[in-house]
Amino acid sequence: MPIQRRKKPNRSNEYRKIKREQELKGLEVLEKNCQNLPLNSEYESFKELPLSLLTQQGLQQSNYIVMTEIQRKAIPIALRGRDVLGAAKTGSGKTLAFLIPLIESLYRKSWSQLDGLGALVIAPTRELAVQIFEVLRKVGRMHSLSAGLVIGGKNVDVEQERINRMNILICTPGRLLQHMDQTVNFKCDNIQVLVLDEADRILDLGFEKTVNAIIENLPKERQTLMFSATQTKSVKDLARLSLEDPEYVSVIEDSENCTPLSLSQHYLVCELPQKLDILFSFIKSHLQVKVLVFLSSCKQVRFVFETFCKLHPGVPLLHLHGKQKQTKRLEIFNKFSSMKHAYLFATDIAARGLDFPAVDWVVQVDAPENAETYIHRVGRTARYEASGHALLFLLTSEEQGMKAALDKKKVPIDKIKVKSSKTINIQKQLQSLCFKDPEIKYLGQKAFVSYIRSVYLQSDKSIFKVDKLPLEEFAAALGLPGTPKIKFVKKSQSKNITRQIPKEVPEGDTIKILKMNSNALSNFDVQEEKRKEDKPKTKLDKMFNRKNMSVLADHYKKLVDQEVDNIMSEEELITLKRADHELSDELRQPDREPLSRRKLMKANSKKFIIKNAPRGKKLIFDDDGNPHQVYEFQDEKDFRSAGDILSQKKEFLEKEFEVMKKEDITDKIIARDKRQEKKIKKKVKLKEELAEENIKPVVTLSTTLPTNKGFHEDELNKNDERDFEESSNEEYERSSNKRQAAYLSDHDDLNDGEAPINKKRKLLEIEEPETLEDQETLALKLLNHL
Ligand SMILES: Nc1ncnc2c1ncn2[C@@H]1O[C@H](COP(=O)(O)OP(=O)(O)OP(=O)(O)O)[C@@H](O)[C@H]1O
């Protein structure tokens, strides 16, 4: 009797099974508790909520114990799976209010890497996305979910490789849409939770179309959470479209004002030329503090930063704006976060969501575009339970309009007076800096133009009045020897100028300029009379118009000749809202003016053609003989600023290794195809030769011999083909495995299963010939055999 073996109990398997059952039971209970969570209870701490142990541990280790008001109200609703539209003051903890439900939702669904992307968080700026990512890393540290940051400014290929492995993505809208369009296998059809942080800003930045396109790519059955400190009509419109029966949670409406109670807010009224004197005096009298200073454009920020650094105020100065490289921006963000006493000059890039710890003051040297931006800017101080101060500089012409806008938004702000006796005048120092350093002068000119333009572009004309600005005095206050040329022309003349929009401008931007001209040019237009300017008037103008002049000529050209270009390149302007963020690179062809006969003849003259013929470009050839532009190669300064040499080298080698790997695969495929082609040719030739000698070829895999009687030639050929297919599929792994062939004489009997050698048959096992040597050996063997 056969002995029946008893199966050994596999302890680890059983243990795992029991554990899994317990986990599932735990998840069921958690789900039930969430669904039955009473919403009107006054929860105080996170412990009172039905959260997973892993989240509880993450919160505890990050010192998040007691909930803030928005967390108390929003988290229970979101845990029940409802959509939430949340509004709460700056610094009140909205980030956790959406991150906790997001993590818990995926956890309760036992989300794993196999399930793919489960949650998306969209933020308006890269810095904010990085910050959210850091909070997620802190509170989600005990979970095994994978999370990635998709924010642009980095290599798309690297992101493309990793993006498909993520469960949670924190991203900026443009880059996310780019991946949706370009990344193979990037799937969003399993998304469970979508978060839009600072939704109003996303829309303000002109990302409405992008967000709509993203939402269209997401499954309808999902939870959507939208948060901001300010809610605009456009957010409510978006909420109506993308949220399903949302719960509106607001802790602003209940309170008397919409800024933190621990924030003291003041404004002062001054004239434009006094602004920098007052700012410098403020810095000199507040050295032991951490201050965020807002200015209206990148050029303003750069000029104030560069000049104030040279004036040595006695406190570290930093600057942050959108024209800096991403790595630099993050470096400054981290540096300012870690510093105790410092001044950061910034554009509105730092206005939203950023959580710099312990900022004492927010000083707004240039007025915000509206009350919402004011609320977000001052929200960088007095965060969570800290206190803070805010100071706003207003021009006399701005006071009434801005005060009314702030009152309407319930912003408690008091007026203070500036003691002129205590103000330090820095005009002479700035003049001397501009005189000594053309770069500073150039920056000053650009700062001047960009400020005037930013005022001109503001949409709220009840606050911003460009015609009230004292231009000459302002230029002098910046230390400039003269007032940069910004001509104000009448509306009719501006029409001509808009037709001369350069080719390179994308269609969206063109529309934007046209719109601006049509609604904002009732009295003035910040354009110069292009036609007149085309002809150099004075010797100086001629000199400046000559190419290859010093840097100043270019600066002059940029300031005077290319005002239109400048307007369009200034993306950082507060009110310059991008009309179209689609990834299309269609360019608009400008309308061209008809040429006169004289001009036409001139254009066709030989001299003109030779003079204007395209010049050859200097190219550098690499090792493979491919040409490159000289400036494709990075200059040393850029190279050094990109990080230390070793890590750059490592990164470079890794990238090149990836490229080599891909190239290797292509080479292998080409080589394989060539080999196969060669083999087929040889086989056909061999078959013909054998047919002449009355021998039939039978090709088998090395170990098997056919046992069926009556293998017809067709079948043999089929077998032959299949063999090739197998070989092609396994080529990479088994390219060294050689197949063997057996050649049988026509009257050999293969039927009876006996060893064919016993029969009167000629069996010869040889290796498939691959090289010339193999072929010679095969020919010899065949000759011997015959
Ligand atoms: N429950 C909590 N306990 C302790 N600190 C908290 C809690 N919730 C949030 N914070 C802290 O409060 C600060 C502000 O939080 P957060 O950045 O989420 O605010 P916010 O409402 O998103 O602000 P903003 O509107 O400016 O984006 C952060 O430093 C955060 O660590």
**Mutation test residue for ligand 1: of 200, 383, 385, the one with most atoms within 8 Å of CB:** 383
Choice between 299 and 752, residue whose per-residue pLDDT is larger: 299
| CA 93 / ligand 1 centre spacing (Å) | 3
Ligand 1 centroid–CA 532 distance in Å is 56
Atom of ligand 1 nearest to the CA of 131: 17
pLDDT at 159 over 70: yes
Residue 722's identity, in one-letter code, is R
Q: What is the mean pLDDT of the chain?
A: 75
Write the residue with the smallest CA distance to atom 31 of ligand 1. Answer: 93
Percent of the chain with pLDDT over 90: 41
Task: Give alpha helix (H) positions in 62-155.
Answer: 69-79, 94-108, 126-139
CA separation for the pair 633, 615 (Å, rounded): 21
For ligand 1, is residue 68 a contact (CB within 6 Å)?
yes
Q: Does ligand 1 come within 6 angstroms of the Cβ of 95? A: yes
Q: Cα(240)–Cα(731) distance, rounded to whole angstroms?
A: 56
Dihedral sign, Cα of residue 24, residue 26, residue 31, residue 32: positive
Q: What is the mean pLDDT of residues 91-95?
A: 93
94 touches ligand 1 (CB under 6 Å): yes
Please tell me the residue having the least CA distance from ligand 1 atom 9.
93
Q: What was the pLDDT predicted at 606?
A: 65
Q: How far apart are CA 303 and CA 276, in angstroms?
A: 11
With a CB cutoff of 8 Å and minimum separation 6, the contacts of 428 are none
Cα 387 to ligand 1 centroid, rounded to whole Å:
14
Instruction: Using the atom order of ligand 1, give the atom closest to the CA of residue 198.
Output: 27
- Please tell me the predicted confidence (pLDDT) of residue 772: 64
Q: Among 121-130, 410-419, 576-585, 657-666, which stretch is predicted with the lowest mean pLDDT?
A: 576-585
Q: Determine whether the shortest distance from the Cβ of 273 to ligand 1 is under 6 A.
A: no
Tell me what pLDDT residue 531 has. Answer: 37
pLDDT in tens, 40-55: 767 899 999 999 999 9
Residue 567's SS3 state is helix
Q: Bin 212: left if φ > 0, else alpha if -120 < ψ < 50, else beta.
A: alpha
The verdict on the CB of residue 149 being under 6 Å from ligand 1 is no
693 Cβ contact partners less than 8 Å away, ≥ 6 residues apart: 786
Please tell me if the CB atom of residue 91 comes closer than 6 angstroms to any atom of ligand 1.
yes
Q: Crossing angle for the helix pair 53-61 and 126-139, nearest 10 degrees?
A: 110
Beta strands in 735-774 (DSSP E): 740-745, 764-767
CA distance 373 to 378: 9
383 lines ligand 1 (CB under 6 A): yes
Q: Which domains does the chain carry?
A: 14-250 (3.40.50.300), 263-468 (3.40.50.300)
Tell me what ipTM this predicted complex has: 0.98
pTM for the model stands at 0.63
300: nearest Cα among 276, 336, 332: 276
- What pLDDT is stored for residue 592 in this prediction? 44
Question: How far, in Å, is the centroid of ligand 1 from the Cα of 341?
Answer: 22
